[in-house]
A and B are shown apart, each in its own frame.
Chain A
Amino acid sequence: MKIKKLRGTRIAKRALLYLGVVILVLFCLFPFLWMISSSLKTTFELYGAPITYYPHKPTLASYIGLFKNTFFIQWFANTAIVSASTTLLCILIASVAAYSLTRYRYPGRTTFANFVLFVYMFPPILLAIPLYLLVINWRLADTREALIITYIANALPYSLWLLRAFFQTIPIELEDAAMIDGASRWRVIRSIVMPLALPGVIATSVFAIITSWNEYLFAMLFISSEWKKTIPVGLTGFITAHEDRWDLIFSGSVMASIPVLIFFIFIQRFLIEAWGSGGVKG
């Protein structure tokens, strides 16, 4: 009798657990699912009453409109070029610096690491106003270069910290042994450090690429030509004083989310470990 009762509470507990998980997952996915559902509706249904929870007449019309009548493909290419260039350069600069911070014993390197973290906390709006003027001064207004430089600096502090944490986990003894055996430092970096640090470098790259992909404030301020815009700025442009094109916003949002989702699935397993070991992200 008692055992039966115990089993009963156990099952009730499990049921409660699963209920909680289902609610949590639905809560997290709902806006995303709503975005997909809305992108597949006809404009009639999108602005119709009562609101339908799923598209009754699913259509790709909003996607066709997006590709045919807007600059979306160009925006997508712009965002990809800016994000890729940013990530490449940022990782290069950050790994050199992180290697230096963990392998050379000069004074002040902890202070430097702290300083970089400090910089990471600067309000973007604080930088935006003077940078807007500087970009004009540097004759970089309305160019991708302006965005790339800004994004590199924005992603640098976090990348440096993540990479530093990774390099610290690579035993220095391995490198010392190889150097005693006569290998040059470059050789050591190439054949010992790089392969061991690769997972960390990939993970950091994904962070850099996602932050640049999603950036809005600087892109909105620096870019004025319609065909030079990045996706986030392009999407907000679908809301104008004359009309709101929510259909285009949703199909565009789904398209913008796909690359992020792919990258996300790619690094998901690694995330909890990396953040547990002291990484930070805003």
Chain B
Amino acid sequence: MKKTSHLIGILMLVPCIFCIFLVMLYPVVLSLKMSFYKQTLTGLSARFIGFSNYIYLLHSRKFISAFFRGFVWVGGTLTFQTLVGLGAALLLNQKFIGRGFARGCVLLPFFLPGVSIYLVWRWMYNDMYGVINQILLDLRLIGEPIQWLSSTSLAMWALIFMAGWIYFPFVTINVLARLQTIAPQLYEAAEIDGANLWARFVHITLPQVRGVLLVVILLRALWMFNKFNEIWIVTAGGPAGSTTTLPILAFKEAFKVQRLGRASAITTILFILVLAIATIYIVVFQPAKEVT
């Protein structure tokens, strides 16, 4: 009886396993295999070349700079997301009129169609018709229009600001959920003891949200390393490669110059990086623990 019920349970997983195998596991294995081959888009001239693709990459300045640029991208957006996300959560946890509406608005950047949002940002950053320059000019913060997206030193920061704007709601919503579980008595007691706003934040709020913040930062770091669309649609990795991260480099290698083997080697290295973070997350935080 017990054996058959086990069998039914496992059978119910079959469609799910099939889908994941077909569209995720098999392609990953294929990609790993391709990274040891010299292969073009037509796939006819695949030739085994061992670790050559990897060795080539380690000597390629383009690859090395894309690799480290990824850390600037992730570090930059993460800092933005975390600070703004935390601030917004603290603000939205207060009682005020229209709180529901404000909470809804804050989530919007995260849900609106990504491509449309990236395009709007690209337009807003435009040096001739962009509203960002117009606002800064009107406020007399700058004297002449800034070339946000065509400057090699500014383009990455423009992208980081945009991505921070899109993804901070994720931090807000998770922190807000945690903030709502903190007993108000804690704050009342501290207030009676004469603790000011900052002291209450440091000694009550921060220790309480530290756990969730850590998980959120880890997850966001992982996802930010993978981001492709945000950069591709706004700058396509330019100008002069100054916003080319690993996903962009891999895409260009695969679909612009048709070096699928080399592109697979790039994504494999990206995968190892992401896998390391994912392992930390799953081992340390054990998200699958059943609540019983």
Which A residues have a C-beta under 8 Å from some C-beta of B?
Answer: 14, 17-18, 20-21, 24-25, 27-29, 31-32, 34-35, 38, 46-47, 49-51, 53, 93-94, 96-97, 99-101, 103-106, 109-110, 112-114, 116-119, 121-134, 149-150, 152-154, 156-157, 160, 168, 210, 213-214, 216-217, 221, 231-232, 235-236, 246, 249-250, 252-253, 256-257, 260-261, 264-265, 268, 271-273, 275-276, 278, 280-282
Tell me the nearest residue of chain A to B111, going by C-beta: A264
- CB of B216, distance to nearest CB on chain A (Å): 9
Q: Do A264 and B116 touch (CB < 8 A)? A: no
Q: Point out the residues of chain A lying under 8 angstroms from B119, CB to CB.
A: 235-236, 249, 253
Known: A126-B31, A153-B24. A93 touches B278 (CB 8 A): no
- CB of B248, distance to nearest CB on chain A (Å): 9
Q: Do B6 and A104 touch (CB < 8 A)? A: yes
In the complex, chain B residues 71-121 whose Cβ is within 8 Å of any chain A Cβ: 88, 91-92, 94, 96, 98, 101-109, 111-117, 119-121
> For the complex, is B183 an interface residue (Cβ under 8 Å from A)?
no
**What separation, in Å, do the CA atoms of A152 and B174 have in the docked complex?**
26
Q: Do B31 and A130 touch (CB < 8 A)? A: yes
Interface size on B, residues (CB 8 A): 95
**What separation, in Å, do the CA atoms of A268 and B10 have in the docked complex?**
34
Tell me the nearest residue of chain B to A111, going by C-beta: B288
Q: Do B247 and A123 touch (CB < 8 A)? A: yes
Contact of B20 among A25, A32, A119, A246 (CB under 8 A): A119
Tell me the nearest residue of chain A to B174, going by C-beta: A275
Top 9 closest pairs, chain A to chain B, by CB: A104-B9, A276-B177, A253-B116, A153-B23, A100-B12, A232-B115, A130-B27, A123-B226, A97-B16
19 chain-A/chain-B pairs, Cβ below 8 angstroms: A17-B96, A21-B91, A51-B134, A110-B288, A116-B20, A117-B278, A118-B282, A119-B24, A123-B267, A125-B247, A126-B268, A130-B30, A131-B27, A132-B255, A149-B22, A235-B119, A249-B123, A253-B113, A278-B287
Q: Point out the residues of chain A lying under 8 angstroms from B112, CB to CB.
A: 32, 257, 260-261
**What separation, in Å, do the CA atoms of A235 and B103 have in the docked complex?**
29
> For the complex, is B38 an interface residue (Cβ under 8 Å from A)?
no
**What separation, in Å, do the CA atoms of A131 and B31 have in the docked complex?**
9
Most chain A CB neighbours (cut-off 10 Å) among B22, B88, B120, B181? B120
Q: Do B278 and A121 touch (CB < 8 A)? A: yes
**What separation, in Å, do the CA atoms of A101 and B114 have in the docked complex?**
33
Q: Do A275 and B173 touch (CB < 8 A)? A: yes
Q: Point out the residues of chain B lying under 8 angstroms from A17, CB to CB.
A: 91, 94, 96
